Amino acid sequence: MLSEVKFVSMYKRFAIQLFLCNLLIGTAWFSLQGIRTNHMTAKPAFQLRLTDNAVEPRADKHVGFVRQASSGQRVVDYDVLEKNNRYGMSNEDYEVLLRIVQAEAGCEDEKGKMLVAGVVMNRVENKRFPDSVTEVVFQNVDGKYQFSPIANGTYYSVAVTEETVAAVDKVLEGEDITQGALYFVAREFADEENVEWFDASLEKLFCHGGHEFFK
């Protein structure tokens, strides 16, 4: 009888030990699964890999990220427009200046772009014109916009290139090659009436690219 009681006691102790062992194994397995799940969750959804021939995207110093255009020129991506403007103008004014220069002189060299930007800034500083870039570019006198890309809508569809950004920045950093010009006209494409007014009312300074500059 004693041996039977002893056997039952040993069996119960073995069963308890087996249960505890299984419990420990189960706990360890669930912990391992949790670690694996957390590791998978922590991985990025995608990774950017650069090959030797890839162009590395980088943040533009003012406007945000740039992308590669089909023409080979790098253009500004306006999805990111947060910047610390060191030129003392608002983000809106800076963007407007870039766009009007691109629209007016996108096919010109750096000097041509700088001249257009310089004329806009000359107007901002002149008492006869509004005192902000946006107001100057969108100024409407007697139902006529002062810049043709605003009137014909091309201003809204341009892709600003890095070359334009660099040219505009040079002007904002103090390079002035305008000789005080406040007006410019592309004689070949302008209305005859406008050209006649330019010739009769203004002082012609010089020509560059497709534009003639006046004051």
Q: Can you give the residue ranges of every domain in the chain?
A: 1-41, 66-176
> What is the distance between the alpha carbons of residues 101 and 111, in angstroms, rounded to a whole number?
11
The predicted pLDDT at position 112 comes to 97
What is the per-residue pLDDT for 18? 64
For residue 189, give the 3-state DSSP assignment. coil
Could you tell me the pLDDT band of residue 79, with boundaries at 50, 70 and 90?
Answer: very low
Give the model's pLDDT for residue 88: 84
Lowest mean pLDDT among 75-84, 165-174, 176-185: 75-84
pLDDT digit string, tens, across residues 5-59: 455 566 567 666 666 666 666 665 556 555 555 444 444 433 333 334 333 333 3
Count of other CB atoms within 10 angstroms of residue 21 = 10
Dihedral of alpha carbons 127, 133, 135, 138, sign: positive
Cα 214 to Cα 185: distance, rounded to the nearest angstrom: 8
Predicted confidence at residue 41, as pLDDT, reads 45
- The pLDDT assigned to 30 comes to 58
Gap between the Cα atoms of 23 and 18, Å rounded:
8
Domain 66-176 has CATH 1.10.10.2520: yes
More reliable by pLDDT, 46 or 174? 174
Report pLDDT for 211: 95
81-110 pLDDT per residue, tens: 444 455 788 999 999 999 999 999 999 999
